[in-house]
Amino acid sequence: MPSTWLITGATSGFGRLVTERALAAGAHVIAVGRRRDRIAELVQLAPKGQITAVELDLTAPDAQTVITDTVRSVGRVDVLVNNAGYGLFGSIEQIDADEARAVFDTNVLANLAVLRATLPALRASRGRVLQTSSLIGQFAWPSSGLYAASKGAVELISEALAHELAPTGVKVTIIEPGTFATEFATNLRVVPPNDVYAPTVGKFLTDISELPPEAFGDPHAVADAIMTVAALEEPPLRLAVGADAVEHIRASLRSRLTELDRWESLSLAPAHQSA
């Protein structure tokens, strides 16, 4: 029986590339996306009977119900690619409550809604969960605080989920792409820094904007990695994709270990005993 994939953010970027690969491999794809024109385009391009298109804003109040009902009508899910999200960059102080709430609604709460809607079917199929994070789900740069926090939440939710699902046979992998040439840059929200944050946030945003095209990886590499991991009997919990992701995550982990070692004596010092 052909496998069934549910892919969110299926109309652009990594989601679109994975959708195309899964269809080419003969899978049935439940493709979830917000844009009607791009959903219609996917339907036209897909082999007949291989796609179930769902036009849906995953932050809508009924999103979980819509996904649940769709999974029930299709009958199964073998692979979930929980990929929908967007970027938000700016200083912590200047990003207001509405902006912060919106990025967590999309990147974290919508992700959870999709998990709740699909996990019963994934347990039944002993399936795969692939959660799209980012290299900055492991650390933060100036300007990335809120976005990194949302991806950090996905990382820890996914790690706990992997432990919780281990007896069921469902495998969870967190995909941590580096910097790739997708539509991410055109869809992200940037809050321009004021004078206070110009030397940090402003400089970082300027440096990123001046990167040459060759600094951005081929997004097909991420789609290929997702397809490979989905087929592994024992996939990794985390997979960094791209040389920059490996480099920066490794540097962050080494820095944290160095700091842990440096301050270990203070961490283990006995509490002060008052007379």
Residues belonging to the active site = 133, 147, 151
Neighbours of 27 (CB within 10 A): 20
Closest by alpha carbon to 81, among 162, 16, 7? 7
CA-CA-CA-CA torsion sign (253, 176, 242, 227) = positive
Q: Which of 108, 114, 113, 116 is nearest to 153 (CA)?
A: 108
Task: Specify the residue for token string 């994934």.
Answer: 122
Are 114 and 141 within 8 A, CB to CB?
A: no
Q: What is the CA radius of gyration of the chain?
A: 20
Full 3-state SS string of 190-236 = ECCCCHHHHHHHHHHHHHHHCCCHHHCECCHHHHHHHHHHHHCCCCC
Q: What span, in angstroms and rounded, lies between the C-alpha atoms of 123 and 246?
A: 31
Judge contact between 180 and 153, C-beta under 8 A. no
Distance CA 29, CA 189 (A): 29
Total residue count of the chain as it appears in this document? 275
